[in-house]
């Protein structure tokens, strides 16, 4: 039995190691904003030249997407990724078309499971569409280099992960050569400069799970400072659903306003202030775009948005007007 247990114990240790590795890999990917699950073409070109010429508008052109099944993933690694996943049966997104003009903000809303997160993942090319195309600055994302896409698009997810590292170390993941002055500037823009200045060792204070404990709102602001340092042309933002206290919420909002100003943004919106401020709102339901318009237009048309507004956003509205 001992001979059996030995290898079994060793195997379970390996599994734990692999799991740990996967978790940290995911965290790294979140900061680097992109997961290398799709292949870069040998002749891929740099997206930034097109962005400089045409601006960083986003275009979804008849996008249908079905998550690859497990057996297809292993097949895809053996064969050309492009030859599988052409069957749109069981698709999560169906024939989705809309654009986000350069410098504007589009808010994405819809019931849980509608496909909002999936759609945002296609814009950072975590996956390729099954059929149709996603373009930035007119360039199909399948034709551009991963590095130039990563520089062009910044992501802020709901849960801002920090590394067990110093404040400066966490920020320099976005820009290795940033000077301390540039770090302070980003921290101030993200409304977290005062807090870092009060920390025991300022920029050199270790934060994260085992370091200086930051609240949810503070972590988000640090993530926004990281985004500001990176200064991408496009921002994909998944707004936090968790309720922050009102002071923290106001600070996060101010930091986000700063981060989104002048950039092209696609925001999975959970805040009333965001849907109100958006140039346009796209309403997704079961993978289909069912409505599109401004807050006022969609409320007037009494469709799904008006219903979502009543159930998701109106209570927040009442809170605000009451305060
Ligand atoms: P929520 O508001 O709850 O976050 P959402 O609108 O962001 O929802 P998605 O997370 O995009 O919705 O999910 C859309 C659909 O795709 C759901 O049915 C979900 O179960 C499915 N889905 C999500 N991720 C995967 C995956 N990796 N593999 C297979 N199916 C997935």
Lowest mean pLDDT among 4-18, 132-146, 241-255: 4-18
What are the tokens at 218? 């503070």
Please tell me the predicted confidence (pLDDT) of residue 168. Answer: 96
The whole-number average pLDDT for the span 118-124 is: 94
Distance 115 CA to ligand 1 centre (A): 6
* Residue labelled with tokens 């045409």: 54
Distance 42 CA to ligand 1 centre (A): 31
Strand 206-207, strand 165-166: pairing: antiparallel
- Choice between 26 and 270, residue whose per-residue pLDDT is larger: 270
What are the tokens at 158? 């709901």
Contacts for 98 with CB less than 8 Å, ≥ 6 apart: 60, 106, 282, 289, 292
The whole-number average pLDDT for the span 86-97 is: 80
Task: Give the residue whose CA is nearest to atom 31 of ligand 1.
Answer: 67
Average pLDDT over the chain, rounded to an integer: 82
Residue 87 in this model has a pLDDT that exceeds 90:
no
φ, ψ of residue 44 to 5 degrees: the values are -60, 145
Lowest mean pLDDT among 98-112, 147-161, 166-180: 147-161
End-to-end CA distance of the chain: 69
Pocket test for ligand 1, best of 115, 236, 239 (most atoms within 8 A of CB): 115
Please tell me the predicted confidence (pLDDT) of residue 7. Answer: 44
* pLDDT band at residue 239 under the 50/70/90 scheme: confident
Residues 229-254: b if buried by 16+ CB within 10 A, e if exposed: bbebbbbbbbbbeeebeeebbebbbe
Instruction: Report the alpha-carbon distance of residue 226 to residue 192 in Å, rounded.
Output: 11
Residue 82 in this model has a pLDDT that exceeds 90:
no
* pLDDT band at residue 14 under the 50/70/90 scheme: very low
Cβ 92 vs Cβ 66: under 8 Å? yes
Pocket test for ligand 1, best of 65, 85, 116 (most atoms within 8 A of CB): 116
312 C-beta closer than 6 A to ligand 1: no
Q: What is the pTM assigned to this prediction? A: 0.80
Please tell me the predicted confidence (pLDDT) of residue 148. Answer: 96
What are the tokens at 174? 């976005």
Please tell me the predicted confidence (pLDDT) of residue 226. Answer: 93
Instruction: Report the alpha-carbon distance of residue 200 to residue 196 in Å, rounded.
Output: 8
Residue 37 in this model has a pLDDT that exceeds 80:
no
* Residue labelled with tokens 């958006």: 278
Please tell me the predicted confidence (pLDDT) of residue 23. Answer: 45
Please tell me the predicted confidence (pLDDT) of residue 21. Answer: 43
Cβ 282 vs Cβ 106: under 8 Å? yes
Q: What is the complex's ipTM, to 2 decimals?
A: 0.97
Q: Rg of the chain's alpha carbons, rounded to an integer?
A: 21
Residue 101 in this model has a pLDDT that exceeds 60:
yes
117 C-beta closer than 6 A to ligand 1: yes
16-35 pLDDT, tens digit per residue, is: 334 444 444 444 545 444 44
Instruction: Report the alpha-carbon distance of residue 201 to residue 235 in Å, rounded.
Output: 31
The whole-number average pLDDT for the span 57-74 is: 84
Cβ 141 vs Cβ 149: under 8 Å? yes
Distance 122 CA to ligand 1 centre (A): 13
Distance 190 CA to ligand 1 centre (A): 30
β-bridge partners, 107 = 267, 281
Q: How many alpha carbons fall within 13 Å on the CB side of residue 226? A: 29
* Residue labelled with tokens 């601006």: 55
* pLDDT band at residue 201 under the 50/70/90 scheme: very high
Residue 38 in this model has a pLDDT that exceeds 50:
yes
Please tell me the predicted confidence (pLDDT) of residue 70. Answer: 64
114 C-beta closer than 6 A to ligand 1: yes
């Amino acid at each position: 039995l001992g001979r059996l247990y030995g290898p079994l114990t060793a195997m379970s240790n390996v599994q734990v190691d692999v799991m740990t590795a996967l978790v940290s890999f995911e965290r790294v990917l979140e900061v680097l904003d992109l997961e290398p699950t799709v292949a870069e073409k040998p002749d891929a070109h740099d997206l930034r030249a097109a962005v400089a010429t045409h601006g960083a508008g986003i275009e979804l052109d008849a996008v249908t997407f079905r998550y690859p099944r497990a057996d297809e993933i292993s097949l895809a690694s053996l064969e050309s990724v492009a030859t599988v996943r052409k069957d749109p049966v069981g698709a999560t997104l169906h024939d989705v078309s809309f654009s986000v003009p350069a410098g504007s903000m589009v808010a994405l809303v819809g019931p849980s499971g509608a496909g909002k997160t999936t759609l945002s993942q296609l814009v950072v090319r975590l996956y390729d569409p099954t059929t149709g195309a996603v373009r930035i600055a007119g360039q199909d994302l399948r034709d551009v280099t991963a590095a130039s896409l990563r520089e062009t698009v910044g992501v802020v997810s709901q849960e801002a992960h920090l590394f067990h590292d110093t404040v400066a170390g966490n920020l320099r993941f976005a820009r290795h050569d940033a000077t301390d002055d540039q770090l302070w500037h980003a921290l101030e823009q993200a409304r977290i400069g005062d807090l870092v200045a009060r920390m025991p060792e300022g920029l050199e204070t270790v934060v994260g799970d085992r370091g200086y404990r930051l609240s949810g709102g503070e972590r988000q602001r640090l993530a926004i400072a990281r985004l500001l340092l990176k200064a991408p042309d496009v921002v994909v933002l998944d707004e936090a659903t968790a309720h922050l206290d009102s002071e923290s919420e106001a600070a996060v909002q101010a930091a986000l306003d700063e981060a989104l100003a002048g950039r092209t943004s696609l925001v999975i919106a959970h805040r009333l202030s965001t849907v109100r401020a958006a140039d346009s709102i796209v309403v997704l339901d079961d993978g289909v775009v069912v409505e599109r318009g401004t807050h006022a237009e969609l409320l007037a048309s009494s469709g799904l948005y008006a219903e979502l507004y009543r159930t998701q956003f109106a209570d927040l509205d009442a809170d605000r007007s009451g305060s």
